[in-house]
Amino acid sequence: SGYTIAVVGATGAVGTKMIQMLEQAAFPIKEVKLLASKRSAGKKALFNGKEIEIQETTADSFENVDIALFSAGGSISKQFAPEAVKRGAVVIDNTSAYRMDTEVPLVVPEVNEEAIRSHKGIIANPNCSTIQMMVALEPIRKQYGLDRIIVSTYQAVSGAGVSAVKEMKDQAKNMLNNEPFEAAILPSGGDKKHFPIAFNALPQIDLFTEDGYTFEELKMINETKKIMSNDKIKISATCVRIPVVSGHAESVYIEVKEDGASVASIQDLLRNAPGVELQDDPANQIYPTPLDAAGKKETFVGRIRKDRDQENGYHMWVVSDNLLKGAAWNSVQIAESLYKLGLVKAKD
Ligand code: A2P
């Protein structure tokens, strides 16, 4: 007995991590269905050492599924999430397709787990950059309130998928060998021009909107307001892609509302916060880096400093594996919350 779980996008950067995270989930699993495109049908992947054949995603794939984890792009979620819900599954969607839908809870379990109670079939997993920032800031918000957030990101290439990682590695090889190469995917598969990511930094993630912000930046802004249930929080973001495989880093500036905060008190809050690991000891050169964070589920925080001019202003450096807490692990945690709160019954 246990849940029947579907993973849509099982061959992708996030989907393959979802399979690994499900192996560690705190709920019983009867069966895992691995779904991708027709191209992958017949390929095999391992779950708990057992080979499972990957199938093409169709509406009928979701018969008897209890929980469906989606990470195959927004258009696939739009097409198939309603089909999964129609067949009685709860969908946990890792794409941006439903995040700002008022009927859809947007959940980081350490921050707003209770929001899943109001789901109507679909629960959205926030953007990877938003998730790690929420995990780091919620303990501070709870204690002191937050007036303003200004964040600049240093984002890993795996957030753009398996093919973008391959593009970066090929470019790096070609550059070192003085061979010609072309950029075909980054900064955004959907935009007109493409630029090298190897040995570079690209201040564009996703497409530009009319006011000069990218959609990635607006995701961080809008999702933060929704998750913290606070439309009044002042927030701005600059999102940059850097040539790192996995692990997003963020320079986060905050202004707290209440008096009484200090570097030491913020460190104490984060030392005891769920999902956070404090790595903050500059005298011993201790601070988080993407290479160290890759493969781990925690959000790492260091470099906490008081602003030199702004009385209630603080700076910090926040790092987490974008494929794990930023995507696959947060999705599996949401499934754990559904189980823990008794919100999904296995159909069996
Ligand atoms: P496939 O490997 O069969 O193309 P990434 O984010 O790493 O680029 O991965 C995208 C994921 O979405 C892959 O698992 C990919 O499967 C899947 N995918 C792409 N197109 C479809 C589709 N039409 N139906 C189902 N899954 C799809």
Cα(56) to centroid(ligand 1), Å: 10
Asked whether the predicted pLDDT for residue 316 surpasses 90, the reply is yes
Residues annotated as catalytic are 128, 248
Task: Specify the ligand 1 atom closest to the Cα of 57.
Answer: 25
How confident is the model at residue 121, as a pLDDT? Answer: 98
Asked whether the predicted pLDDT for residue 131 surpasses 90, the reply is yes
How confident is the model at residue 24, as a pLDDT? Answer: 97
Cα(11) to centroid(ligand 1), Å: 7
Distance of CA 181 to the CA centre of its chain: 30
Residue of minimum CA distance from atom 16 in ligand 1 = 36
Which residue ranges make up the annotated binding site for NADP(+)? 11-14, 39-40, 158-159, 322
Cα(35) to centroid(ligand 1), Å: 9
**Residue 3 — pLDDT band, cuts 50, 70, 90?**
very high
Task: Specify the ligand 1 atom closest to the Cα of 72.
Answer: 12
pLDDT digits over 241-268, tens only?
999 999 999 999 999 999 999 999 999 9
Q: Do domains 3-126+327-340 and 130-322 have the same CATH topology?
A: no
**Residue 326 — pLDDT band, cuts 50, 70, 90?**
very high
How confident is the model at residue 124, as a pLDDT? Answer: 98
Tell me if 134 sits within 8 A of 224, measured CB to CB. yes
CA distance linking residue 195 with residue 188, whole number of Å: 9
What is the arithmetic mean of pLDDT over 86-94? 98
| CATH fold for domain 3-126+327-340 | Rossmann fold (3.40.50)
**Residue 5 — pLDDT band, cuts 50, 70, 90?**
very high
How confident is the model at residue 88, as a pLDDT? Answer: 98
pLDDT digits over 265-286, tens only?
999 999 999 999 999 999 999 9
Cα(55) to centroid(ligand 1), Å: 12
Tell me if 156 sits within 8 A of 319, measured CB to CB. no
**Residue 84 — pLDDT band, cuts 50, 70, 90?**
very high
Which residues does a 6 A CB cutoff place in the pocket of ligand 1?
9-13, 15, 36-37, 39-40, 57, 72-73, 76, 161-163
How confident is the model at residue 155, as a pLDDT? Answer: 99
- State the pTM of this model: 0.98
Asked whether the predicted pLDDT for residue 348 surpasses 90, the reply is no
| Mean pLDDT score of the chain | 98
**Residue 296 — pLDDT band, cuts 50, 70, 90?**
very high
Asked whether the predicted pLDDT for residue 324 surpasses 90, the reply is yes
How confident is the model at residue 39, as a pLDDT? Answer: 98
Return the CATH superfamily for domain 130-322. Dihydrodipicolinate Reductase; domain 2 (3.30.360.10)
The ipTM, to two decimals, is 0.99
Could you give the angle at the alpha carbon of 224 between the alpha carbons of 22 and 243, nearest 5°?
A: 65
Q: What is the residue extent of each domain of the chain?
A: 3-126+327-340, 130-322
Asked whether the predicted pLDDT for residue 228 surpasses 90, the reply is yes
Identity of the amino acid at 346 = A
Residue of minimum CA distance from atom 6 in ligand 1 = 161
Which residue ranges make up the annotated binding site for substrate? 155, 241
